[in-house]
């Protein structure tokens, strides 16, 4: 009797697992996770009361936000391609002069953005954009310039410091997110351009397509790159086998993470390791838009990395940030992913490099979220993907 009582007490003390956020039918129900927690983690709920403030409107398909030291923001607009300075009160500047010619068609345009870690002294701004190439096609370019502030802001000394090779006739899957590491080098995510001639190069080390590249601040290959000095490999490559990387961030330990869009199903969160192959298009958890399998329709193969987490149906991940815990103590270390198809800011709880909970914030607003970054005080700033794009501030309600 005592044993039965103890067993009953243990069962009552064990909290019941919540259902996952996503309960819809996956595109391919035959695909199964490689390990527990790789898919459809239990739903969690933020306890802190939240306030969402609409700070600015009228932005034209805003794509990226970067904070200046004085609390103002730089914001890229994808199409028409322009760079704006926005105050915390929502005042939007005229376009910053000096942006070179941009291919602003389809998914292409003015894209990723970062300021130099030494901005206080060098005033350098870095951005990515789809560059028309004189020999045909287009490809992502990384440029930098000095920001000259004032009533008529401009970029001086514009220089392209890295060009994605090869160029293709495609307006899709540019990638374009970039992040500085603690040592002042930078990592840049590159798409495989979607079309078959690009897709087949995602695992080819002779091509930049479908790669993460690791660069010095001047655009040259970083010294610790795994393929530096090796034949038949580009020296800037850090990792390969990616589809369309649209979020990239470091956690508090200095580990690099990325999110990338899958086709129908198979959006991924990956922990990025030097020299590893992340499998696209050989393996994945999605299918072609036609409903046919991608390649052989397999989810695992020797020598290829598994995603830490995947979504099916997709959320269409557009950005990635990892919260410091300022303003929101319960969010410390949590991952926040912009969702286009999901119309939500997707929160993931990550413990020991595994996802243990998922939450969809603000899905009731109906906004396609393009970027989300943490501001100086810990509030989250969001831009929405629309011709009348909004700048939103998410803070703790007082």
- Is there a domain that residue 180 lies in? yes
- Comparing CA positions, the residue from 297, 370, 281, 306 lying closest to residue 39 is 306
- Comparing CA positions, the residue from 240, 163, 247 lying closest to residue 202 is 240
Instruction: Kindly report, residue by residue over 152-192, the tens digit of the pLDDT.
Output: 999 999 999 999 999 999 999 999 999 999 999 999 999 99
Listed in sequence order, the DSSP H helices in 87-234 are 119-122, 196-199
- Number of neighbours of residue 240 by Cβ within 10 angstroms: 27
> Mean pLDDT throughout 351-375?
98
C-alpha to C-alpha distance for 33 and 67, rounded to whole angstroms: 38
C-alpha to C-alpha distance for 244 and 270, rounded to whole angstroms: 12
Q: Are strands 317-322 and 335-339 parallel, antiparallel or unpaired?
A: antiparallel
Instruction: Kindly report, residue by residue over 194-221, the tens digit of the pLDDT.
Output: 999 999 999 999 999 999 999 999 999 9
Whether the link from the prior residue into 166 is cis, omega within 30° of 0, is yes
Q: Cα 322–306–209 angle (5° rounding)?
A: 80
Residue 140 bridge partners (DSSP): 130
- Is there a domain that residue 94 lies in? yes
Q: What is the pLDDT of residue 4?
A: 43
State yes or no: pLDDT of 2 exceeds 50.
no
Whether the link from the prior residue into 80 is cis, omega within 30° of 0, is yes
Residue 43 bridge partners (DSSP): 358
Q: Find all residues with CB under 8 Å of 160, minimum gap 6, and list them.
A: 100, 131, 141, 142, 143, 219
- Is there a domain that residue 357 lies in? no
Q: What is the pLDDT of residue 18?
A: 77
- Is there a domain that residue 205 lies in? yes
- Comparing CA positions, the residue from 183, 350, 163, 186 lying closest to residue 271 is 350
What strands lie across the sheet with 256-261, from one edge to the other?
Answer: 244-250, 256-261, 267-272, 309-311
> Mean pLDDT throughout 373-391?
98
User: Percent of the chain beyond pLDDT 70?
Assistant: 96
Q: Give one word for 304, left, alpha or beta, with left for phi > 0 and alpha for psi -120 to 50.
A: beta
State yes or no: pLDDT of 17 exceeds 80.
no
Q: CATH number of the domain at 166, please.
A: 2.120.10.30
- Is there a domain that residue 30 lies in? no
Domain range for 96 is 62-320
> Mean pLDDT throughout 74-95?
97
- Is there a domain that residue 174 lies in? yes
List the catalytic residue out of 39, 173, 214, 323: 173
DSSP 205: T
Respond yes or no: is residue 242 known to be catalytic.
no
- Is there a domain that residue 52 lies in? no
Whether the link from the prior residue into 41 is cis, omega within 30° of 0, is no
Please state the domain count of the chain.
1
- Is there a domain that residue 137 lies in? yes
State yes or no: pLDDT of 3 exceeds 90.
no
pLDDT confidence bin for 259, thresholds 50/70/90: very high
State yes or no: pLDDT of 250 exceeds 60.
yes
Which carries the bigger pLDDT value, residue 16 or residue 250? 250
Asked if residues 288 and 327 have their Cβ atoms less than 8 Å apart, the reply is: no
- Comparing CA positions, the residue from 186, 169, 96, 184 lying closest to residue 132 is 169
Q: What is the pLDDT of residue 8?
A: 34
């Amino acid at each position: 009797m005592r044993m039965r009582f103890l067993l009953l007490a243990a069962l009552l003390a064990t909290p019941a697992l919540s259902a996952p956020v996503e309960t819809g039918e996956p595109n391919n129900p035959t695909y199964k996770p490689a390990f527990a927690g790789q898919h459809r983690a239990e739903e969690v709920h933020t306890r802190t009361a939240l306030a969402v403030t609409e700070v600015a409107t009228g932005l034209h398909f805003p794509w990226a936000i970067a904070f200046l030291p004085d609390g103002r923001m730089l914001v890229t607009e994808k199409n028409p391609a322009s760079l704006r300075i926005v105050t915390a009160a929502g005042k939007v500047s005229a376009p910053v002069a000096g942006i070179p010619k941009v291919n602003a068609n389809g998914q292409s345009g003015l894209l990723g953005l970062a300021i130099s870690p030494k901005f206080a002294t060098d005033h350098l701004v870095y951005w990515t954009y789809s560059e028309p190439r004189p020999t045909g096609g287009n490809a992502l370019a990384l440029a930098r310039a000095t920001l000259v502030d004032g009533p008529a802001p401009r970029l001086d000394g514009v220089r392209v410091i890295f060009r994605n090779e090869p160029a293709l006739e495609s307006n899709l899957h540019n990638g374009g997110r970039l992040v500085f590491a603690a040592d002042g080098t930078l990592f840049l995510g590159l798409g495989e351009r979607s079309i078959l001639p690009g897709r087949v190069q995602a695992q080819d080390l002779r091509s930049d397509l479908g790669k993460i590249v690791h660069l010095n601040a001047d655009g040259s290959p970083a010294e610790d790159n795994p393929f530096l000095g090796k034949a038949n490999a580009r020296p800037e490559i850090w990792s390969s086998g990616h589809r369309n990387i649209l979020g990239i961030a470091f956690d508090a330990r200095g580990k690099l993470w990325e999110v990338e869009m899958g086709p129908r199903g198979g959006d991924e969160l990956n922990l990025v390791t030097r020299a590893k192959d992340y499998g696209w298009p050989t393996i994945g958890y999605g299918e072609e838009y036609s409903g046919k399998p991608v390649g052989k329709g397999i989810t695992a193969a020797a020598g290829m990395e598994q995603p830490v987490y995947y979504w099916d149906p997709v959320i269409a991940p557009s950005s990635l940030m990892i919260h410091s815990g300022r303003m929101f103590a319960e969010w410390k270390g949590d991952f926040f992913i912009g969702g286009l198809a999901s119309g939500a800011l997707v929160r993931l709880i990550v413990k020991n490099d595994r996802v243990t909970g998922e939450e969809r914030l603000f899905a009731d607003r109906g906004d396609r979220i393009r970027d989300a970054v943490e501001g100086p005080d810990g509030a989250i700033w969001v831009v929405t993907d629309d011709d009348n794009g909004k700048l939103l501030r998410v803070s703790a309600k007082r």
